[in-house]
Amino acid sequence: MSRELIILCQPILVLFLTLFYNSHGYFVSQGSVGIGFNGYFTLTNTTKHTFGQAFENEHVEIKNSSTGVISSFSVNFFFAIVPEHNQQGSHGMAFVISPTRGLPGASSDQYLGIFNKTNNGKASNNVIAIELDIHKDEEFGDIDDNHVGININGLRSVASASAGYYDDKHGSFKKLSLISREVMRLSIVYSQPDQQLNVTLFPAEIPVPPLKPLLSLNRDLSPYLLEKMYLGFTASTGSVGAIHYLMGWFVNGVIDSLELTDSSFVSHGR
């Protein structure tokens, strides 16, 4: 990775890692969470069959207690997945909205550090997750081993699409590999007036999200969330190890563009 990338990303890293290490405990972690190459935050390392979780210590009041309607929100984050083997991923990572600060009892492997065999699919979970899935699990109806999914209370996605983005210039679909070791960005935008959740995946060097999202779900999310929720990230490994890097994330904020000259984690363990 070039020095330019490291310098340009520094404000993001300072924001994220300061929060993580702050003495007031702004972030609560569990499992294999750590610090990897050049200080980047990692949710997992190459240990097999493990998971990591990192959640904000403070809740967000996402639902109006009087009307029972949630607020519109947007989340953007930068990430990279570095697998132990070049052509084979592990399981993946997810952005999670949870009623608890962390997910007690979560399992690794196909459960992504979110659910377990017993609670997967239960309406009482009150969990919404956007998964970056790099393993095809037939039991959950996965479309392939390289997809983005919207999950409500379980790991069977209510909407999913193979990883990629739509080019603004021609409208053509450009495939992306989640295990390419490239830095990517995921934009998650929910509009309560439209009752629409849009998810857009794209290379980190593109300054703004493409106009056409990768995924759209037309549904009111209010019934699935409580008044107070926690925001966080999870990742898991199975029989193959992988490092899941998280380079910064923003909620309801404007993100400056990043001009990346080299956005790859070229060798394993970097």
pLDDT given for residue 36 in this prediction: 62
pLDDT, tens digit (0-9, with 9 covering 90-100), for 129-181 = 999 999 999 999 999 999 999 999 999 999 999 999 999 999 999 999 999 99
Q: How does residue 16 score in pLDDT terms, banded at 50, 70 and 90? A: very low
pTM reported for the whole predicted model = 0.85
Q: How far is it, in rounded angstroms, from Cα 225 to Cα 62? A: 8
Tell me the average pLDDT of the chain.
84
Which pLDDT band, with edges at 50, 70 and 90, does 29 fall under?
Answer: low
Give me the phi and psi of 267, to 5 degrees please.
Answer: -110, 155
**Residue range 246-256, pLDDT digits in tens:** 888 888 865 55
Please choose, from the candidates 179, 175, 220, the residue with its C-alpha nearest in 3D space to the C-alpha of residue 201.
Answer: 175
Cβ atoms 248, 12 nearer than 8 A: yes
Q: Set out the domains of the chain in order of their start, with CATH numbers.
A: 3-251 (2.60.120.200)
Q: Which of 178, 175, 215, 10 is nearest to 79 (CA)?
A: 178
Q: Within the chain, where are the H helices? A: 3-21
**Residue 165 neighbours by CB under 8 Å, 6+ apart:** 173, 174, 176, 200, 201, 202, 203, 206, 210, 214
Amino acid at 186: L
